[in-house]
Amino acid sequence: MLKLLIVCALAAISAADIPEEEDVLVLKKSNFEEALKTYPNILVEFYAPWCGHCKALAPEYAKAAGMLKAESTDIRLAKVDATEESELAQEFGVRGYPTIKFFKGGEKENPKEYSAGRQADDIVNWLKKRTGPAATTLSDVTQAESLIADNEVAVIGFFKDVESEDAKVFIKTAEAVDDIPFGIVSNDAVFSKFEVAKDGVVLFKKFDEGRNTFDGEISKENLLNFIKANQLPLVIEFTEQTAPKIFGGEIKSHILMFVPKTATDFQEKMDQFKKASEGFKGKILFIFIDSDVDDNQRILEFFGLKKEECPAIRLITLEEEMTKYKPENSEITAENIITFCTDFTEGKLKPHLMSQDIPEDWDKNPVKVLVGKNFEEVAFDPAKNVFVEFYAPWCGHCKQLAPIWDQLGEKFKDKANIVVAKMDSTVNEIEAVKVHSFPTLKFFPAGDDRKVIDYNGERTLDGFTKFLESGGKEGGAPAGDEDEESDLDLDDAGEEDSDVDDGHDEL
């Protein structure tokens, strides 16, 4: 007994040495290992003070820390200023902000990456699933009601025999879902309270229908599909907080309605959108984006939209290759949206490729200006060797490259068979080339075989010159063998301007 008291006292002294801000431990290299020893379960956010996503997360992160501390759990939340503690950031592979990692049992090796939602409940639920039983045993009605009341979404397995095969499958399913709390119950009073007549699974939620009852054959795959189809609202608003749920979910086909919340017919549009969504649960995620919000302007740009063009509908698939679709009928009615989505699911739609109009002076300067409408004609001219920079106006790396690219154009302007060109890929898209990072440099050699070569050499005038003079051999690679260290993924953030697709700023 005395030994236990001494250990507890030492732990308390150690804990007192670690400063806190709003119940969040403040860690540095000097106290990091001590924190891991003191707290068996610790979630650590690596952040940058200037990062917009980190600032947005801060109040919810602090709220989660307070909730866990108030419950006297052995779980704590901590943060590390990665701009000050660069050694720690490097040690744990921090490449973007915020990066959140879970350390269990005092071990530094292989911490678990946190990838659930950015709201306090999401954080708490994820941690409890990681540190406790996959499904909480609910002994009575009060416990069941508390689980439902305390969470946006909760799943309860009703099994008279919690050792049955179906109950074991339910537990296995619970282990596979990080961000939703599960409960399991065998109590007759709970069955009666929730009007459950036989063994089964019910998903409770604070939106739409309020609850969904699983009515298929119980298997892990079937239960996961059931949860996937019902865990999100029929229509979800895109925000900083919901972004991880939207982009981290299983549904990779998204239909987006861009509409200002201040519009007089906003609710009418929402009603039509929601009505259309009912037939596509689990297949297409219905998302609305407030087109008046400044943080959403980059998303509008990505789809080639301006605020004055909203309301508008677009559809995108987030598979390996992102593909966009635009409805032929722009009027927002449930009927039109259902037709659009049905055509998509049946593979009847053609991708929508954005293009600016061809500038009158596109070939006036040494560096030619390409857009979607003239790309094919220029890049695949069988008599020309064409070197193209695919850029984004806001990309810092592209801005650094611009004067060198102009010098390259000047150097080869009198070579009749060589064309140096550029294309703004934020407003122009082509089927032949998928751009995943900026800048992307591709070479289209003369000939009829439509060959494409990626440039992976040094971004210097000398490097580009050798590449062109060697016919794309020195510094080139067949298209598809792209440099793994892309400067800027389209679904990540860059420099001062940060995309909010996944709530993550790159270093």
Whether 8 is a known active-site residue: answer no
Which of 8, 51, 310, 341 does the annotation list as catalytic?
Answer: 51
Q: Is 105 helix (H, G, I), strand (E, B) or coil?
A: coil
pLDDT band at 178 (very low <50, low <70, confident <90, very high): confident
> Per-residue pLDDT tens for 248-277?
777 899 999 999 999 999 999 999 999 999
Q: Tokens 């987006």 map to which residue?
A: 256
Whether 395 is a known active-site residue: answer yes
Q: Tokens 């020309």 map to which residue?
A: 384
Domains plus CATH for the chain?
A: 2-129 (3.40.30.10), 133-230 (3.40.30.10), 235-345 (3.40.30.10), 367-478 (3.40.30.10)
> Per-residue pLDDT tens for 114-163?
978 888 988 998 898 888 888 999 999 999 999 999 999 999 999 999 99
pLDDT band at 403 (very low <50, low <70, confident <90, very high): very high
Q: What's the mean pLDDT in 367-395?
A: 95
Beta-carbon contacts of residue 25 (< 8 Å; ≥ 6 apart): 18, 19, 35, 39, 42, 76, 77, 78, 79
With a pLDDT cut of 70, the percent of the chain lying above it is: 90
With a pLDDT cut of 90, the percent of the chain lying above it is: 65
* 503: pLDDT strictly greater than 60: no
> Per-residue pLDDT tens for 295-323?
898 899 888 888 999 999 999 998 777 88
Whether 398 is a known active-site residue: answer yes
Whether 51 is a known active-site residue: answer yes
Which of 8, 54, 310, 341 does the annotation list as catalytic?
Answer: 54
By CB atoms closer than 10 A (0-12, 13-18, 19+), residue 394 is middle
